[in-house]
Structure 1
Amino acid sequence: MGFFVRVLVNAFAIWIVTLLPALGVVLVPFAPGEWFQVALTLLVVGAIFAIVNSVIGTIVKVLAIPLYILTLGLISFVINGFLLWLTAWITGFWNWGLRVDGFWLTVLAALVIGIINWIAGLILRPRPRERRD
């Protein structure tokens, strides 16, 4: 997926997660909080999350290869939760962005975001063309 599509899918997934109050993830939009500011905030947070996943996520996942082997891949839930928590921490420097309640709730929210990203990847994946000889 291209970067823009990844940002849109992340923004949609974060919006779905913020609609589930049990996960403890809250979106604080830009000043007035109307629909345009909420959408713009979601797009910016989605872009930050995509950049964090691309840069820091790659480094952390490479360094954690022994933990992936040791835990049979279950460490990926904790790493994805850490990356979402890191995104909330980065946006916490401003008066807008993500706010999370606790780390383990963030891990559950990252699991939901991962499932939504997986479904979107299945839908948006380019289909192979049939060869006609």
Structure 2
Amino acid sequence: MVRFILQAVVTALGLWLAANLVPGVAFLSTGSLVAAAVLLGLVNAFVRPVLVFITFPLTVITLGLFLLVVNAATIGIVARLLGGFVVDGLWAGIGAAIVTGLCSWVAGGLIPDRRIQREG
């Protein structure tokens, strides 16, 4: 549970950065930012694996670049479900996916994974 909360905080930070850096991505309030982060975590846990499976041939053909479109689609799904979160088009979604992914990647390098430490 702590890991999910930490991941939601990192996702919220990534979405906040995306809203400040990517034109077409915006939040109406801090509450909608937090809700978007939590909802994105749930969509990534349940919907994204299905999308990745369905689009696997395109992902192979594009050498993995189509995963950016899948990530943009998950962000777009969250924007559709949440009234206070706006993503204006595919390119804004791809930009948000890149910024959020980079933020998660950096945080993943800084935050140790206790599951790995217990096994070793």
TM-score (normalizing by structure 2): 0.87
CA distance in 1, matches of 2:53, 2:93: 22
SS where residue 73 of structure 1 aligns? coil
Q: Which has the higher contact order (CA 8 A, sep 6+)?
A: 2
Runs of 4+ in 1 over 4 A off after TM superposition: none
The alpha carbon displacement at 1:43 in A equals: 1.7
How far did residue 6 of structure 1 move?
1.2
Taking the aligned partners of 2:112 and 2:97, their CA distance within structure 1 comes to: 21
SS of the residue corresponding to residue 6 of structure 1 reads: helix
Is 1:58 matched up with 2:49? yes
Q: 1:27 — aligned with what?
A: 27
Q: Give the deviation of 1:88 after TM superposition.
A: 0.4
Higher helix content, 1 or 2? 2
2-structure distance, mates of 1:67, 1:103: 17
Equivalence for 2:18: 17
Greater C-alpha radius of gyration:
1
Q: Work out the number of aligned pairs and report it.
A: 116
Gaps of 5+ in 1: 30-37
Match of 1:69 in 2: 60
CA contact (8 A) 2:36 2:82 kept: yes
The answer to whether the 8 Å contact 1:48/1:87 transfers is: yes
Quote the offset at 1:126 in angstroms: 2.5
Aligned-partner residue type, residue 27 of structure 2:
L
Contact 2:16 2:33 in 1 (8 A): yes
1:71-125 residue CA offsets vs partner (Å, 9 max, x unmatched) = 1101001111111111100103xxxx21122211211111111111110111113
* In 1, Cα distance between equivalents of 2:25 and 2:10: 17
State the superposition RMSD in angstroms.
1.8
